Structures are given as structure tokens and as C-alpha cells.
């Protein structure tokens, strides 16, 4: 067909597919559920230890470390669930790997790093004020909902960044392999 690349796929590729969005959402819900279920068993002790050793910087480092662990779990869940939703984005199919590609892992890692940094800043600077206001006004039960809501917004932004980075990295990977 004239005008199509050798792989026969139109350019530009769609950013994502509905099944992939669903797989990411389900993976995120599972990740958050595991995080909330596990938190009572380690969070208090870990944060007290970190604060005792290094003060606020220790807490920041623990938060970043947790973000990395949860991001890795999210990636594993996402990649495991995506085939169940019958989807493999065209940009990944074009790489010919059959499942995922290095550029996709890099795109996910970069999007997660940005999300972790934004989360650390947001939860260190903005959210304490929000929590204080809610607490003063007797809305302490709303705190969990606000935290989850902020997490959902960050996750959505991370996904949008991921699919855009993946497209950009796929073009770079394709050019490098020529």
C-alpha cells in the first residue's frame, strides 16, 4: 500500500486502546488496595525510624522508595493484565516483541518518576494544609477520600505521560535501530 511504512501500520499510531486503559486502571486499583492493606503493618514503624535517623529528609526518602516499589508492582500488574483485556497497542506491536518493549518500560519509568516527584511535593507542601483544614472543620473522615482522589488524579496524569513518552520513545528506538 502506497504511503505506509514497511510494517504496514499507519502513522502516527493511536496513543492507546480502551483495553489498555482498563488494564492500567485495574492494575492501579489492585496496587492501591495492596498498599492500603499493607500500610498498617509497616508505615508507622518505617516512618518513625526514618524520621529518627534523618528527620524530614528520611521521610522523603522513604516516600520515594515506597513510590518506586509501588510503581514496579503497578508495572508488573499492568503488563500481566493487559493481554487479559485483549489489547496490545499498535506502537508495541510494531516493535515486534510480542508483549512489551524496552522503550515502553523506559516510558513507564519516566512517567512514574514524574508522578512520584509530584506526589512527594504535593503531599509534603499542599496536602498537610488541606488535611489541617479538614481536621479543624471536623471532616477527618474525608481525608482518606481526598488522598485516594489525589492519587487517582496523579495516576491518570502518569498514564497520559506514559502513552506520550512511549510514542516518543518508540520513534527514537525505531530511528536508532535503522
Q: Of all residues in the chain, what percent are helix, strand and coil, respectively (each to 5)?
A: 80, 0, 20
DSSP-assigned letters across all residues of 82-104:
GGGGT---HHHHHHT-SS--HHH
pLDDT at site 71? 93
Which has the higher per-residue pLDDT, 170 or 161?
161
pLDDT band for position 178 (cuts 50, 70, 90):
very low
Instruction: Report the alpha-carbon angle 96-101-106, nearest 5.
Output: 155
Q: CA 77 to CA 96: how far, in whole Å? A: 21
On the question of pLDDT at 2 being above 50, the answer is: no
Task: For residue 61, give the C-alpha cell.
Answer: 526518602
pLDDT at site 8? 53
Q: CA 152 to CA 129: how far, in whole Å? A: 20
pLDDT at site 173? 54
Q: What is the pLDDT of residues 89-146, one digit of tens each?
A: 878 877 777 777 789 999 999 999 999 999 888 988 888 888 888 888 777 778 888 8
Q: What is the pLDDT of residues 142-162, one digit of tens each?
A: 888 888 888 899 999 999 999
On the question of pLDDT at 176 being above 80, the answer is: no
pLDDT band for position 175 (cuts 50, 70, 90):
very low
Instruction: Report the alpha-carbon angle 23-63-146, nearest 5.
Output: 65
Q: What is the pLDDT of residues 14-59, one digit of tens each?
A: 778 889 999 999 999 999 899 888 888 888 899 899 999 998 888 8
**Of the candidates 78, 82, 94, the residue with the CA atom closest to the CA atom of residue 170:** 94
pLDDT at site 135? 81
On the question of pLDDT at 68 being above 50, the answer is: yes
Which residue, chain included where needed, has cell 492501591? 32
pLDDT at site 116? 93
On the question of pLDDT at 10 being above 70, the answer is: no
Q: How far is CA 62 from CA 41, 42, 107, 118, 145, in A?
A: 15, 11, 23, 15, 23
Would the CA dihedral through 67, 69, 75, 77 be positive or negative?
negative
Amino acid at each position: 500500500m502506497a504511503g505506509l511504512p514497511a510494517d504496514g501500520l499507519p502513522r502516527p499510531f493511536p496513543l492507546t486502546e480502551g483495553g489498555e486503559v482498563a488494564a492500567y486502571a485495574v492494575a492501579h486499583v489492585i496496587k492501591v488496595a495492596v498498599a492500603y492493606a499493607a500500610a498498617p503493618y509497616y508505615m508507622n514503624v518505617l516512618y518513625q525510624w526514618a524520621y529518627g535517623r534523618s528527620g524530614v529528609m528520611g521521610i522523603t526518602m522513604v516516600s520515594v522508595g515506597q513510590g518506586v516499589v509501588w510503581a514496579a508492582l503497578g508495572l508488573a500488574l499492568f503488563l500481566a493484565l493487559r493481554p487479559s483485556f485483549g489489547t496490545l497497542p499498535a506502537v508495541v506491536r510494531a516493535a515486534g516483541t510480542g508483549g512489551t518493549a524496552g522503550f515502553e518500560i523506559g516510558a513507564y519509568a519516566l512517567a512514574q518518576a514524574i508522578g512520584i516527584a509530584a506526589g512527594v511535593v504535593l503531599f509534603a507542601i499542599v496536602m498537610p494544609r488541606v488535611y489541617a483544614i479538614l481536621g479543624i472543620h471536623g471532616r477527618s473522615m474525608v481525608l482518606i477520600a481526598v488522598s485516594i482522589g489525589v492519587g487517582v488524579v496523579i495516576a491518570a496524569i502518569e498514564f497520559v505521560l506514559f502513552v506520550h513518552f512511549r510514542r516518543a520513545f518508540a520513534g527514537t528506538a525505531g530511528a536508532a535501530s535503522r
